[in-house]
Amino acid sequence: MVSTEKTALYVQLVEQARALVENEPDEIANMANVAALIHDTFHFWWTGFYRLIDDDLVLGPFQGPIACTRIKRGRGVCGAAREQRETVVVPDVEQFPGHIACSSASRSEIVVPVFDSEGNVTAVLDIDSERLAMFDDIDACFLEQVAALFRK
């Protein structure tokens, strides 16, 4: 996909996501709709959220095949994004130390932390692709905007 085409899709996606969540107070409903919107727009292998419950990341709303249910602190790409408090882009999951293989079809991944209004990580937005090096700075920039919609 050409970067200008991808950018245009993301601009529209951010507007649609904002419209979906702005008047809905239920975070689970918002995560479900946003995961579906991203998944339907880009047809990624897996798109979803892990919510921080106690000290684990617990599977939340998602689109795609069965996923890992619970991720311990610091484990995998999701744990790295949580601990580093920043987006993690992994071009080849086989090269990421400690990668959790919920599916052998996943080849690349991007994980974006979701923060509350006080700056605490409350969840992560996790997206996997069956293609190597699927994600780049454009994805990171716009998915961070999507994650910011959950800052309430």
Domain containing 106 — which CATH number?
3.30.450.40
The burial class, CB within 10 Å (0-12 / 13-18 / 19+), for 22 is exposed
Print the domain residue range for 123: 3-148
Domains held by the chain: number: 1
Predicted local distance difference test score (pLDDT) of residue 103? 66
pTM assigned to the model: 0.95
Predicted local distance difference test score (pLDDT) of residue 89? 97
Is the Cβ–Cβ distance between 59 and 48 less than 8 Å? yes
Average pLDDT over residues 20-26: 97
- Among the listed ranges 75-84, 95-104, 111-120, 141-150, which one has the minimum average pLDDT value? 95-104
Average pLDDT over residues 24-39: 98
Q: With H, G, I as helix, E, B as strand and everything else as coil, classify residue 101.
A: coil
